[in-house]
A and B are shown apart, each in its own frame.
Chain A
Amino acid sequence: MSISKTEKNTLLVEITGELDHHTATKIRTKIDNAISKDYKNIIFDFSALTFMDSSGIGMIMGRYKKILKYDGKMTIVSPKPQVKRILEISGLMNIVTLETSINKALKRM
């Protein structure tokens, strides 16, 4: 995974491989260390994420609650079908937007 600070108070978080309970625990801490009032928006780039289960949902929801304190926004870019289905089942699509590219996601911020 990688986290980079970009324009519009946004953290770009690229998660590759599999997002399960094991990897979510590690990723959670890294993102929390990067969130601040200057970096209150999150774009998750899921284009190279090959698998996610409900532990990923827990991780995303937890980060959403954190940025909400700073009035931040969250967008998920290019989830694969399996990941998209878990997002849909979870109800997360009601609070998080989906985009097809990082540029489009940045325009929303």
Chain B
Amino acid sequence: MENRFDMEFIGISENESLARAITSAFAAMLDPTVEELSELKTAVSEAVTNAIVHAYPYEPGTVGLSGKINGNTVYITVTDSGIGISDIDKAREPLYTGKPEEERSGLGFSIMESFCDRIEVMSALGEGTMVTLVKSFGSLKGES
């Protein structure tokens, strides 16, 4: 099937559960297993939490959430117009956190990577960050 949605919300922590619920409802159209759906939901939660915690240090900004279904593959993109990531490779290292004082575990990107087929991260300092999560459902894996 083909489908898409595009929305934005204020980057406040209350909206983390909103982003998960929307992603779940959208991806559920592909009839994933409980495990597949909870993996995608967890990955989205990590991406959205990163945008809320790290992108806007002074006041909450806008977080974009969009989704696309192509065949049995779902693409979820989380965007922000925040401060950007200066070193993406470092940010993706397991256990690295830019905010050690806030009890962040540093596992966000590791979880996104292990729960999705692949992730794409683009960022520009002062302009923002875009994270795309790609996950195929069902036994016939692979993007179509």
Question: Which residues from chain A sit less than 8 Å from chain B, CB to CB?
Answer: 18, 20-22, 25, 28, 51, 53-55, 57-59, 61-62, 81-82, 86, 89-90
Contacts and interface: CB of A to CB of B under 8 A. Distances in A.
Given A21-B53, A82-B42, A90 B105 contact: yes
B66 interface: no
B17, B49, B103, B107: residue with the most chain A Cβ atoms closer than 10 Å: B103
Contact of B13 (A21, A54, A61): A21
Contacts of A61: 103, 105
Interface of B: 13-14, 16-17, 20, 35, 38, 41-42, 45-46, 49, 52-53, 102-108, 110-111, 114
A55 B16 CA distance: 11
Contacts, number: 63
A21 B38 CA distance: 17
A92 to B, nearest CB: 9
Contacts of A18: 17, 20
Contact of A54 (B17, B35, B107): B107
A21 B14 CA distance: 9
Ranked nearest first, the 7 interchain pairs of A and B with the lowest CB-CB distance are: A22-B13, A54-B107, A57-B105, A58-B103, A58-B105, A62-B103, A53-B45
A21, A22, A57, A59: residue with the most chain B Cβ atoms closer than 10 Å: A21
A18 B53 CA distance: 18
A55 B105 CA distance: 7
A21 B48 CA distance: 10
A21 B16 contact: yes
12 contacts: A18-B17, A20-B45, A21-B53, A22-B14, A51-B20, A51-B45, A53-B49, A54-B105, A57-B107, A59-B103, A86-B111, A90-B107
A81 B106 CA distance: 21
Contacts of A82: 35, 38, 42
A13 to B, nearest CB: 16
Contacts of B20: 18, 20, 51
Contacts of B53: 21
B17 A20 contact: yes
Nearest to B49: A21
A55 B83 CA distance: 21
Nearest to A62: B103
